[in-house]
Structure 1
């Protein structure tokens, strides 16, 4: 083999190696992107597919997701089922805080601007908690029907995994969406125990814990799933009616807990309306500012105590 042939052969092998390396890197990158998209869609957020609307504040959203605050906020939004990104919610919250700050400063006194801003942050957190609790309540109301579908499916000879997928198709949101996530997790290799435990962590409630425990134990021990689910269906129906009666009885107490701080804030507007500039003079000294802070603290304590006393766990 002469030198020219060796050079040509070496050059050809080098070019072929480069082409294969580029093709391999392209295939690897495309596979990683597809896997990341699949995991993000099926098991990362846990919420229904986002609509096709144009997302706002994308740069803020990307930066926020890298922080602990952003990850915590994303988990809270996932539990609420809202079609809002962490960046959008954070931007809306900042806008609300700024608006309340300016309104409190303009209508009452400059001292009340920061207090109104803190009120905006508290209202945003309470809004997320309220949305999350409302979603949990809707899910709890669907649990008897869910247990009934699973019992009928397993009685017909279907596997529990198949029964969960069928229930996800038949039930409406939020149960259908949450079960669809469980079915998707099972499809990508998660165990039934892990998928159900994650469901119980996303929507914590005693009724769901009982259902998940029943399914997990029956799956591990190979017990009679049908009988356990049918007995559980009756129990969940009774608890559903009991919870509805308790909510009706305590509705007036719940309204009182919100009326108490509302009266306090209303008295400030009344005081400033009776004598213009009264709040400016009152908050112009450290003693007056301390009195206002103590008053707001007492209203907050009263709100929390009323809510705690009216909470009855069934």
Structure 2
């Protein structure tokens, strides 16, 4: 009798374990499906388009969990590049490795790590250049944006509707950025938060003035039409002023890039005149220190020229 009871108890526990295991597997599968759906939704509402298959998905997920990956994702979103953080990171590593090998083979083994560091700096500078170029394009579209919103508000449309209309009529990057703002507003985000995120992605004085005008008008319900009309004229004048300043400083900007290029060219010239000269020069600590100091001075000269030629309008 006791044996029969023990068999029944064992069978009941086994059945209960199987039921719990099936329920656990079902919950796990549902969790994975919900997570995949959420990731797909975030990718569609984020800055990266999903028109093509993304490479390195596992590395991308790991990068996005880190602080560096999140900063890189925001920087890529500001540039408008169709790249994930993992794709950019792998491309940067490949560039660093290629420059390392080229520096060792063409100059001397000592220049391999320096060339790799140059690759990292070039990647960061490329992101900054792409971001600044996108900001400049957005600034050039601000007068037309203010004009469209002034016409829409004068016709009696709400500010949210005017933003959506401007997103449809304007080209990239203004159209894309306003589409993100309109989408966030449709999901229930506040006007202040969405416009503040816009200024964080594309920082500029012109955009700050426009956003401040819209936020104050939305809060106080002031004369938004007349404010946007006046702002349109001001933005047009600032646009012409920025174009003139950029033309005047184009030669100085080219000089800032020409100085380090001449230094690197001098190294190739020395190695070409006398084969093995760089190997002997970097074979001692004194020569290595001199090369490092020279590269540091070229970097300082590049930064100083860029800072001196920067004019805030």
Work out the CA distance in 1 between the residues paired with 2:61 and 2:221: 45
Evaluate the alpha carbon distance shift between residue 187 and residue 39 of structure 1 in structure 2; reply closer, same or farther with a 3 A threshold.
farther
1:118-267 pair list within 5 angstroms: 118-267=117-266
Distance 1:169 1:127, change over 3 A: same
In the TM superposition, 1:73-84 aligns within 5 A as 73-84=72-83
Distance in 1 between residues matched to 2:73 and 2:302, nearest whole Å: 28
Aligned length: 291
1:41 aligns with 2:60: no
Change (3 A) 1:271 1:297: same
Q: C-alpha offsets along residues 260-314 of structure 1, whole Å, 9 cap, x if unaligned?
A: 0000000000000000000000000000000000000000000000000100000
Say whether the 8 Å CA contact 1:136–1:205 is kept in structure 2: yes
SS of alignment partner, residue 264 of structure 1: helix
Tell me what 2:297 maps to: 298
Quick one: distance in 1 between partners of 2:280 and 2:42? 59
On the 8 A contact 2:92/2:123 being kept in 1, the answer is yes
CA deviation vs aligned residue, 1:208-231 (integer Å, no higher than 9, x gap): 000000000011111000000000
**Cα displacement (A) at 1:41:** 2.8
Which residue of structure 2 aligns with residue 90 of structure 1? Answer: 89
Secondary structure of the equivalent of 1:312? coil
Question: Residues 158 and 261 (structure 1 numbering): CA distance in 2 closer, same or farther, change over 3 Å?
Answer: same
Give the secondary-structure state (helix, strand or coil) at the position aligned to 1:56.
Answer: coil
TM-score by length of 1: 0.88
| Contact 2:48–2:83 (Cα < 8 Å) also in 1 | no
Match of 2:50 in 1: 50
**Is this contact kept in 2: 1:57–1:88, CA < 8 A?**
yes
Counterpart CA distance in 2 for 1:157 and 1:213 is: 21
Residue 132 of structure 1 and its aligned partner are, at CA, apart by: 0.4
TM-score, normalising length from structure 2?
0.88
| Deviation string, structure 1 residues 29-81 (Cα, Å, up to 9, x no partner) | 87776566445532xx3x26332x22212222122112111111111101101
Alpha carbons 1:48, 1:177 under 8 Å: kept = no
Work out the CA distance in 2 between the residues paired with 1:155 and 1:107: 65
CA distance in 2, matches of 1:41, 1:209: 27
Deviation per CA, 1:128-169: give whole Å up to 9, x if none. Answer: 000000000000000000000000000000000000000000
Measured in 2, the distance between the counterparts of 1:259 and 1:128 equals: 20
Instruction: Give the 3 Å change call, closer, same or farther, for CA 27–99 of structure 1 in structure 2.
Output: closer
Where does residue 270 of structure 2 map in the other structure?
271
Give SS of 1:82's match: coil
Q: Which residue matches 1:309?
A: 308
Structure 2: runs of 5+ lacking an equivalent: 1-19
Task: Note the C-alpha offset of 1:97.
Answer: 0.3
CA distance 1:28–1:157, shift in 2 (3 Å): farther
1:200-251 alpha-carbon deviations (Å, 9 max, x no partner): 1110000000000000001111100000000000000000000000000000
Q: State the distance in 2 between where 1:158 and 1:224 align.
A: 14
Cα distance change of structure 1 residues 28 and 271 upon mapping to structure 2, 3 Å threshold:
closer
Per-residue deviation, residues 8-37 of structure 1 (Å, max 9, x unmatched): xxxxxxxxxx9xx99x97989877765664
